[in-house]
A and B are shown apart, each in its own frame.
Chain A
Amino acid sequence: MGLLVGGAATLAGLSPPRADPGRGERVFQRCFACHSVAAGEDKLPGPNLRGVIGRRAGTLAAFRFSPALVAAGARGLVWTRETLDAYLADPSLFIPGTEMGLPGLRESDDRRDVIDFLERRTP
């Protein structure tokens, strides 16, 4: 699954995953206030991101998503490297009405590395 996703990312013009596990975790500090990747930590302001790769948007049972995220999931949005990259670049542009406060990760390296980090947390 990881290879398939990585290949798709390259075809889509994204940078391939790179081997700096620490950097992705540092970038994740931008998300840390609201999100966790620890199993069972589900009372934060944002949804738990453990296993987010491959998950349909707005469907984690333990979290109350915005109507915009629920609607996006209902339309078929699934979190892949590509869709996460687009969302993280400008959340409000990709999903108008999202309640996520992050204004966006402007640098593609940051997005790639934090997606690497999240991918490693996908069982």
Chain B
Amino acid sequence: MRRGLLALIVTLLCLPSPAAADVAVQAYALPPGGGPHDVAVGADGIVWYTAQRGGQLGRLDPATGKVDLISLGPTAAPHGVIIGPDGAPWVTEGGTNSIVRVDPHTREVKRWALPESRGYVNLNTATFDKRGRIWFTGQNGVYGRLDPATGAMQVWDAPRGRGPYGITTTPDGQVYYASLAGSHIARVDLDTGAATVIEPPTKDQGARRVWSDSRGRIWVSEWNSGNVSRYDPGTKAWKTWKLPGDRPRAYAVYVDARDKVWLSEWTANAMVRFDPETETFEAFPSDRRGANVRQILGRPGEVWAPESGADRLVVYRVK
């Protein structure tokens, strides 16, 4: 075992038959204790995940199941990871209050720290706009923007204080974030940075994460209400659906390449796929107790879910 690099061949597990015949489910066991929080898959099929408890970034090659761990520092506690336009994983690194890029080839870790005057902001999630700038949320009540080309970083106070959580970019380049504690979503002005609050119809719904479909409509996972809701910026109209089951709680949301909406639902310990055309849900229960999927990301044909409570990455391959 080499320093800073833990590699192991993992067991590939075939899970019980999924609810839908067009979906094949496969789980990858990860090094124990890492607590995989967020996941991102690149165009090359390599999967990156944040091992939040371990302070590391993980790299999974799904073809072999091999996992490498890259240390982000002794005080690191990475929350989010996305793939940037440069093909590299970019991390919202909460432990060091910084945005981190890891070179996918050399594994070099480059860090942009938030201004010390901001203090600890509890960095959450990031997204790139179409101008090469990365926008991020800090759950303690901020959002910000970094231009990696110049190193310029700006941090703004969120309109209603603590809560900024998930963040996404629409196909036409608009940036929206969700405020969990604030129970709203907000659109960010890409030039001025000003955030405009958009109120969902359900009070105190706990908007945790957001994702855009191919038409730029914003899908919201509502933790408190157990709803998934959709905001259409063109018409400013909302539509809301309750997830199935008793007292559901929707944590993560992701819209796949076919505009199907994937959610993680914690009460039933399941992944849920919602078809906006038929307005129907399909559930894919985990075979592990307390899987606790906190985020979802994918690429065409694949939806990846980190089971933070089971130290696994699970992929839903759609035929």
Q: Are B53 and A103 neighbours in the complex by a CB distance under 8 Å?
A: yes
Q: Are A68 and B53 neighbours in the complex by a CB distance under 8 Å?
A: no
A96 to B309, CA, bound (A): 8
Interface residues on A, range: 10 to 19
Q: Are B294 and A101 neighbours in the complex by a CB distance under 8 Å?
A: yes
Q: Are B204 and A43 neighbours in the complex by a CB distance under 8 Å?
A: yes
Q: Provide the residues of chain B in CB contact with A90, threshold 8 Å.
A: 53
A96 to B291, CA, bound (A): 11
Q: Provide the residues of chain A in CB contact with B75, threshold 8 Å.
A: 106
Q: Are B309 and A32 neighbours in the complex by a CB distance under 8 Å?
A: no
Q: Are B140 and A29 neighbours in the complex by a CB distance under 8 Å?
A: yes
Chain B residues touching A, majority SS: loop
Q: Are B77 and A103 neighbours in the complex by a CB distance under 8 Å?
A: yes
Chain A residues touching B, majority SS: loop
Proximity bits, B134-169, A CB within 8 Å = 1, else 0: 000001110000000000000000000011000000
Q: Is B180 an interface residue (CB 8 A)?
A: yes
A111 to B318, CA, bound (A): 45
**Least CB distance, B54 to chain A, in whole angstroms:** 9
- Specify the chain A residue showing the minimal Cβ separation from B78: A103
Proximity bits, B112-144, A CB within 8 Å = 1, else 0: 000000011010000000000000000111000
Report A14-68 residues with CB < 8 Å from chain B CB: 26, 29-30, 32-34, 43-45, 68
Q: Are B309 and A45 neighbours in the complex by a CB distance under 8 Å?
A: no
Q: Is B289 an interface residue (CB 8 A)?
A: yes
A45 to B140, CA, bound (A): 12
Of the A-B pairs whose beta carbons lie under 8 Å apart in the complex, a sample of 5, sorted by A's number, is A43-B183, A45-B180, A92-B35, A92-B53, A99-B266
Which A residues fall within an 8 A CB radius of B?
26, 29-30, 32-34, 43-45, 68, 90, 92, 96-97, 99, 101, 103-104, 106
Which B residues fall within an 8 A CB radius of A?
35, 37, 52-53, 75, 77, 119-120, 122, 139-141, 162-163, 180-181, 183, 204, 206, 223, 266, 289-290, 292, 294, 309
